[in-house]
Amino acid sequence: MLIAGIDAGGSKTECIIVDTEKDKIITRAQTGAANYQVVGLEAACREIKLALEQAKKRAGISCLKAVGIGLAGAGRREDLVKIEREMGKIMNSRNFFFSSDAHIALLGATGGSTGAVLIAGTGSIAYGLKKNGAKIRSGGWGPIIGDEGSGFWIGLEAAKKAVRAEEMRAEKTELKNLVLEHFNFSKLEELIPFIYQQQLPRQKIAALAPAVFDLAQNGDEAALEICQEAAAELALLAHSALLKLDYQEDKIAAAGGLIKSSYFYQLLKEKLRENYELEIYKAKKSAAYGAVFMALRELEN
Amino acid sequence: MLIAGIDAGGSKTECIIVDTEKDKIITRAQTGAANYQVVGLEAACREIKLALEQAKKRAGISCLKAVGIGLAGAGRREDLVKIEREMGKIMNSRNFFFSSDAHIALLGATGGSTGAVLIAGTGSIAYGLKKNGAKIRSGGWGPIIGDEGSGFWIGLEAAKKAVRAEEMRAEKTELKNLVLEHFNFSKLEELIPFIYQQQLPRQKIAALAPAVFDLAQNGDEAALEICQEAAAELALLAHSALLKLDYQEDKIAAAGGLIKSSYFYQLLKEKLRENYELEIYKAKKSAAYGAVFMALRELEN
């Protein structure tokens, strides 16, 4: 069977077409951002449709068995219904299946089975499925109330600690230079218009995280504190999600940009093991592949 | 001499007219918000002019020696120049003197002398003057990067701790019920649209602070932690500002809404004494009165 999986995310939309018998990706395509809370419903649908058409064209395929789509910013049922209706208008097929980005990330990360996933990217969330299919989550409260341990959180902590050191409210740290260089600022005060401009620059702040990891490895105390605290927060998030499952699970999949740092992944692994006797493993497949698993399941039901 | 003092703030604009020989307030008037970063330059000027006209009319005065105006959201020199120019267009007088809200708060709090003031309201900032008149400050970085220990910070911490307890990431606390009741929510998830609506509801979140103080006094551990940490953050802010002065100062004035709670004032007093051997005293006069002192000084120069 040929099934398309689409990961419609906050920074890009990725579409893959999978030959499910061979468990093989036939083709890939990528288009723009599709978090509909940010870009709007119409633009999100347009990007999704475009990604799908590009992938089909590249593979020379006109007919698909099904399409699975995971949507960033569509955590609530009302959101999914709304986008499903809108997509129905522009697509002439009934085999479209929608879910949240966390859901396809879980299916991708676990290779299509149940369990739980910790997603540590620009934001942070832990997500899992109960036996009866009910969804559970911890975190995912966004940059103001939540996102503890995420890339955004790490970047913001770096900025905060730089400010505090500058005002003699904390020990000196290299974080100031890191922030100035990263954003090409001449003084920390430039953070103010940058942060309070119309839209909070989440991704730009999250992009500080790898440099904070480097600084921590080079022995900067303040940077190390941030990394340790981020790992502890993510471990706590993972643990709390696993507590909500109705089965015993002693491991959790990890996905998201922060996991790409082997330094940070190691820190996280240690925190989980020491504090909660939990193991972690890297996502087996991508979220787009998870969307394929999701469509496959729906067809089977 | 008759001098008007105007405190053009984020939630209201207050104008007083003072007979400086008698050190007596002749009249008062109050109009709408005038933080020009929020309401715009024109609206801010309109509110200021309206407050002044109302006060003059009430007192039956047509002529003033001078007007002092302290502006919220106008911490930078460029901001002051811009608003001074705009006000010049609508007022036919040269004796208008402008400064930031922190500056008039300091002059009001100290009774017109130099020193430093810790302002703990919706936001937090510590502000002082050096011997040569140069301004120094710590904090005032706004709700995302700064405002540690402020009303907004306390309210947000309450919401965060409620969420964390709900997700079994922290100990149980009464803060959940407090948040639900205060905002008339049926579940904590309602915080998400509330917080991420177009404009961050700073004042509404800061309005949680008094209830957090009550809960702390009633023995809720999580609420007590927030209060202790807020007091410690404010003490640190005050200390760091005093470090920047070019004279020894072992006391600081306190102003802002949080100080009205005798419970919290006491906590803050203890933190300052224990951690930094510093004393605190309550603002002698209002910020509007500080604007009168400011105008008086300018006339003398």
Q: What is the pLDDT of residues B252-283, one digit of tens each?
A: 999 999 999 999 999 999 999 999 999 999 99
Residues B154 and B198 in one domain: yes
At a CB cut-off of 8 Å and minimum separation 6, what does A169 contact?
B138, B236, B237, B240
Of A193 and A54, the one with more pLDDT: A54
One domain, residues A203 and A158: yes
Residues of A in contact with B116 (CB under 8 A): none
Q: What is the largest CA-CA distance in chain B?
A: 64
Are B265 and B195 contained in the same domain? yes
Prediction ipTM score: 0.86
Instruction: Mutate one of A163, A169, A188, A237 to test the B interface: name it (highest B CB count within 10 A).
Output: A169
Q: Which two tokens stand for residue B43?
A: 């609206």
Nearest-CA neighbor of B269 among B120, B47, B139, B71? B120
Answer yes or no: do B144 and A240 touch at CB < 8 A: no
Are B166 and B255 in the same domain?
A: yes
A243–B168 CB contact, under 8 Å: yes
Per-residue pLDDT, B92: 62
- Among B142, B192, B236, whose Cβ lies nearest the Cβ of A141? B192
Which residues from chain B sit within 8 angstroms of residue A141, using beta carbons?
Answer: 163, 191-192
Kindly state the DSSP code that residue A189 receives in the 8-state scheme.
G
In chain A, what residues touch B244 (CB-CB under 8 Å)?
A: 168
Residue A124 touches partner B, C-beta closer than 8 Å: no
pLDDT average, residue stretch B288-292: 96
CA distance A293 to chain B (A): 28
Distances (CA, A) of A155 to A175, A201, A263: 10, 11, 17
A195 neighbourhood in chain B, CB within 8 Å: 142, 144-145
Which residue range forms the structural domain that includes residue A183?
A: 143-246+257-279
Q: Which residues contact A289 (CB under 8 A, 6 or more apart)?
A: A5, A16, A18, A25, A107, A108
Say if residue B262 is in the same domain as residue B208. yes
Task: Clarify whether residues B85 and B6 are in a common domain.
Answer: yes
Cβ of A240 within 8 Å of Cβ of B169? The answer is yes
CA distances from B127 to A173, B106, B286 (A): 24, 7, 15
pLDDT of B197 strictly over 80:
no
Domain count, chain B: 2
Per-residue pLDDT, A93: 65
Q: Do residue A163 and residue B141 have CB atoms under 8 angstroms apart?
A: yes
Beta-bridge mates of residue B71? B8, B100
B249: confidence class by pLDDT, cuts 50, 70, 90: confident
Query: Measured between alpha carbons, how far is A53 from A33 in angstroms, rounded to an integer?
Result: 16
Q: Provide the pLDDT confidence category of residue B114 given band limits of 50, 70 and 90.
A: confident
**Average pLDDT of B82-86?**
79
- For A122-140, b where at least 16 C-beta lie within 10 A, e where not — what string? bbbbbbbbeeeeeebbbbb
Examine the domain organization and report whether A176 and A272 are in the same domain.
yes
CATH code of the domain in which A232 resides: 3.30.420.40
- Does A66 reside within a domain? yes
More confident call, B156 vs A298: B156
| pLDDT confidence band for A168 (50 / 70 / 90) | very high
Is the separation of the CB atoms in B175 and B158 below 8 Å?
yes
Residue A126 lies in a domain: no
Give residue-wise pLDDT tens across range B222-240: 999 999 999 999 999 999 9
* B162 to A229, A259, A277, B168, B228: CA distances (angstroms): 20, 28, 26, 10, 17
A146 interfaces chain B, CB cutoff of 8 Å: yes
Query: What is the DSSP annotation of chain B?
Result: -EEEEEEE-SS-EEEEEEETTTTEEEEEEEE----HHHH-HHHHHHHHHHHHHHHHHHHT----SEEEEEETT--SHHHHHHHHHHHHHH---S-EEEEEHHHHHHHHHTTSS-SEEEEESSSEEEEEE-TTS-EEEEE--HHHH--TTSHHHHHHHHHHHHHHHHTTSS---THHHHHHHHHT-SSGGGHHHHHHSSS--HHHHHTTHHHHHHHHHTT-HHHHHHHHHHHHHHHHHHHHHHHHSSS---EEEEESGGGG-HHHHHHHHHHHHHHH--EEEE-SS-HHHHHHHHHHHHHH-
Question: For B138, which of A167, A192, A240 is closest by C-beta distance?
Answer: A167
Distance (Å) from the C-alpha of residue B102 to the closest C-alpha of chain A? Answer: 17
In whole angstroms, what is the distance from residue A236 CA to residue A148 CA? 10
Work out the pLDDT band at B93, boundaries 50, 70, 90: low
Give the model confidence (pLDDT) of A232-268 as tens digits.
999 999 999 999 998 888 899 999 999 999 999 999 9
| B140 in A contact zone (CB under 8 Å) | no
- CA B244-B245-B248 angle, 5° bins: 120
Q: What is the pLDDT of residue B272?
A: 96
A82 in reach of chain B (CB within 8 A): no
Quote the CA–CA distance of B80 and B94 in Å, as a whole number: 15
Name beta bridge partners: B281: B253
CA distance B138 to chain A (A): 6
> Across residues B90-98, what is the average pLDDT?
76
Q: Are residues A159 and A220 in the same domain?
A: yes
What confidence tier does A75 reach under pLDDT thresholds 50, 70, 90? low
Residues 6+ apart with CB under 8 A from A279: A250, A251, A252, A269, A272, A273
Rounded to whole angstroms, how far apart are CA atoms B78 and A236? Answer: 45
Q: Which pair of tokens denotes residue B101?
A: 């809200």
Q: What CA–CA distance (Å, rounded) separates B11 from B126?
A: 20
Position B58 in a domain: yes
Burial of B134: CB neighbours in 10 Å, binned 0-12, 13-18, 19+? exposed
In this structure, are A167 and A264 located in the same domain?
A: yes
Residue B136 belongs to some domain of the structure: no
Which tokens belong to B32? Answer: 């709408």
User: Looking at beta carbons, which residues of chain B come within 8 Å of A169?
Assistant: 138, 236-237, 240
Distance from the Cα of residue A224 to its chain's centroid: 23
The residue among B37, B79, B164, B179 with the most chain A CBs within 10 A of its CB, best to mutate, is B164
Q: CA A12 → CA A39, A151, B118, distances in Å?
A: 11, 17, 45
- The mean of the pLDDT values for chain A is 91
Nearest to A236 among B142, B169, B196 (CB): B169
Structure tokens at A174: 């290299």
- Interchain CB contact of B168 with A (< 8 Å): yes
Classify residue A91: in a domain, yes or no: yes
Looking at residue A92, its pLDDT comes to 62
Q: Are residues A264 and A289 in the same domain?
A: no
Q: Which residues between 34 and 73 in chain A have a beta carbon less than 8 angstroms from any beta carbon of chain B?
A: none
Q: Does A216 reach chain B within 8 Å, measured CB to CB? A: no
Measure Cα distances from B70 to A284, B8, B96, B292, B294 in Å.
Answer: 59, 6, 11, 10, 9
**Is the CB of residue A295 less than 8 Å away from at least one CB of chain B?**
no
Chain A contact present for B138, CB below 8 A: yes
Taking the CA of residue A226 and the nearest CA in chain B, the distance in Å comes to: 15
Q: Is position B164 within any domain?
A: yes
**A169·B236 Cβ contact <8 A:** yes
A159 contacts chain B (CB < 8 A): yes
The answer to whether the CB atoms of A237 and B169 lie below 8 A apart is yes
A and B: number of Cβ contacts within 8 A: 61
Q: How far is A138 from chain B (nearest CA, A)?
A: 6
Q: How far apart are CA A71 and CA B189, in angstroms?
A: 19
Give yes or no: residues B94 and B147 share one domain.
no
> Looking at the structure, do residues A209 and A272 belong to the same domain, yes or no?
yes
- B142, A192 Cβ separation under 8 angstroms: yes
Mutate to test the interface with B, among A127, A136, A144, A160 (most CBs of B within 10 A): A144
On whether residue A76 sits in a domain, the answer given is: yes
Among B127, B126, B17, CA closest to B66: B17
Residue A135 belongs to some domain of the structure: no
**How distant is the Cα of A22 from the closest Cα of chain B, in angstroms?**
41
Give the CA dihedral B185, B191, B196, B200, nearest 10 degrees.
Answer: 80
Which residues in chain B are closer than 8 Å to A244, comparing Cβ atoms?
A: 168
Q: What pLDDT was estimated at residue B55?
A: 94
| Residue A295, pLDDT score | 94
**Residue A135 DSSP one-character state:** E
Looking at the predicted structure, is the pLDDT value of residue B284 above 80? yes
Flag whether pLDDT at A63 surpasses 90. Answer: no
Q: How confident is the model at residue A84 (pLDDT cuts 50, 70, 90)?
A: confident
Check if A169 contacts B (Cβ < 8 Å): yes
B167 to chain A, minimum CA–CA distance in Å? 6
Beta-bridged to residue A65, according to DSSP, are none
